[in-house]
Copies of this chain bind each other. A is one copy, B any other.
Amino acid sequence: MGLLVLGTVALDHVKTPSGTKKGMLGGSAAHFSMSARLFDDVHMVGVVGTDFPKLHLDFLKRKGINTASVSIVPGKTFRWNGEYKADDLNSAITLETEIGVLDAYAPQLTEQQKNMGHIFLANLAPAVQERLLKIVKKPQLVGLDTMNLWINTALKDLKRLMKNVDLMILNDGESRMLTGERNIVVAAKALRAMGPCVVVIKKGEHGVYVDGGGFRFAYPAYPVERVVDPTGAGDTFAGGFFGYLSKSKKVDEKTLRRAAVYGTVLASFNVEGFGMGRTAPLTMKEIEKRLKDYHHFCALA
């Protein structure tokens, strides 16, 4: 069946204590796809400008990602220029954002894609996310991510959209902004009351908390000694999580627990390299090896 992911496709300029990289392939849809492709067929939906290097698109295709609905339009590709300081690798400092072709973007799908049922709305303006939901014909499982920008500037759109999704993935800071609740257990309940049946709160180095209504669980992050570049870790988590769900074709507690573990493991690879340096070459064998380590790491005696 496969899954459809809508989000940004970006050119990232990133500075971290480990170095500086320019013009990297980035964006929420791209990081999500590079992770989700390990579990299911991924159809990426987004927009780039005519300045977007063909090699990036070829690279995505070579990784098995369907880019038929990545529109190439006149103008500049969305660019993000950010920095992480040594004393807080969890927090990105945005130095510059160029919206470019994202500004007037309306998602397009092929006829085949309009019939797909597993949809992930990666970080993007809620109005654009909503537009995609309107053109798919039989949504079965819809996941949503967002960011502080949209909570600040498009809260009404976001709240309306939340009523129409099954699952929401967001970070702890965003959960607090959206609910006004600092306690994560209470915040997750409040978010569920706003629409999604399943709420997944990412806590970066502190792991993940999931509230599925009748059950809740939390897992620590995989211990990474050298964080090189955290850009896209959240999208990589979401890709592993939703990719696993999509492949499994169910959303029960056991499947959600496994999905959270895969998301956690994928995100740990992501932060170990710049951009997709670690996630793009990944094989299921490496993933299963780290999964085994992780199981031992957080096993109760």
Interface pair A300/B257, CB less than 8 Å apart: yes
Q: How far is the CA of A253 from the CA of B296 in the complex (A)?
A: 11
Q: Which of A88, A183, A209 neighbours the largest number of chain B CB atoms within 10 Å of its CB? A: A183
Contact flag A299-B297 (CB < 8 Å), given A182-B86, A182-B89, A219-B220: no
Q: Type the 1/0 row for A154-167, where 1 means its CB is closer than 8 Å to any CB of B.
A: 00000000000000
- Taking a contact as CB atoms under 8 Å apart, the answer to whether A87 and B182 are in contact is yes
Q: Which of B89, B257, B298 contacts A217 (CB 8 A)?
A: B298
Q: A261: which of B183, B219, B301 is its contact (CB, 8 Å)?
A: B301
Establish whether residues B87 and A186, one from each chain, have CB atoms under 8 Å apart when the complex forms: no
Pairwise interchain contact B301-A298, C-beta atoms closer than 8 A: no
Take A183-B225, A206-B203, A225-B186 as given contacts and tell me if A301 and B254 are in contact as well, using a CB distance cutoff of 8 Å: yes
Q: Is A278 close to B, CB under 8 A?
A: no
Q: Given A185-B223, A225-B186, do A299 and B88 touch, yes or no (CB 8 Å)?
A: no
**Interface flag for A139 (CB, 8 Å):** no
Q: Please, which residues of chain B bring their CB within 8 A of the CB of A261?
A: 300-301
Scan A78-109; emit 1 where CB is below 8 A from any B CB, else 0: 00000000111100000000000000000000
Chain B positions within 8 Å of A299 at CB level: 217, 257, 300
How many Å from the CB of A155 to the closest CB on chain B?
Answer: 20
Copies in the complex: 2
A67 to B110, CA, bound (A): 77
Q: Interface residues of A, CB < 8 Å — how many?
A: 37
Q: Which A residues between 5 and 60 are near B, CB-CB below 8 angstroms?
A: none
Residue in A216, A295, A300 with the greatest tally of chain B CB atoms within 10 Å: A300
- In the bound complex, do residue B224 and residue A185 qualify as a contact, i.e. CB atoms below 8 Å apart? yes
What does the 1/0 interface line of A194-227 toward B look like (CB < 8 Å)? 0000000001011101000000111111011111
Output the nearest chain B residue to A176 by Cβ-Cβ distance.
B87
Contact A207 B223 (CB under 8 A): no
A224 proximity list for chain B (CB < 8 A): 183, 185
- Select one of B216, B221, B223, B255 contacting A297, CB under 8 A: B216
B300 and A298 contacting across the interface, CB-CB below 8 Å: yes
24 A-B interface contacts by CB (under 8 A): A86-B182, A87-B182, A89-B182, A89-B183, A183-B227, A184-B205, A185-B225, A186-B225, A206-B206, A209-B223, A216-B297, A217-B298, A218-B220, A218-B297, A219-B220, A219-B298, A220-B220, A253-B301, A254-B301, A255-B301, A257-B300, A261-B300, A298-B298, A299-B300
Other than the given A185-B223, A185-B225, A261-B301, 5 more pairs (CB < 8 A) read A87-B182, A89-B183, A183-B224, A253-B301, A254-B301
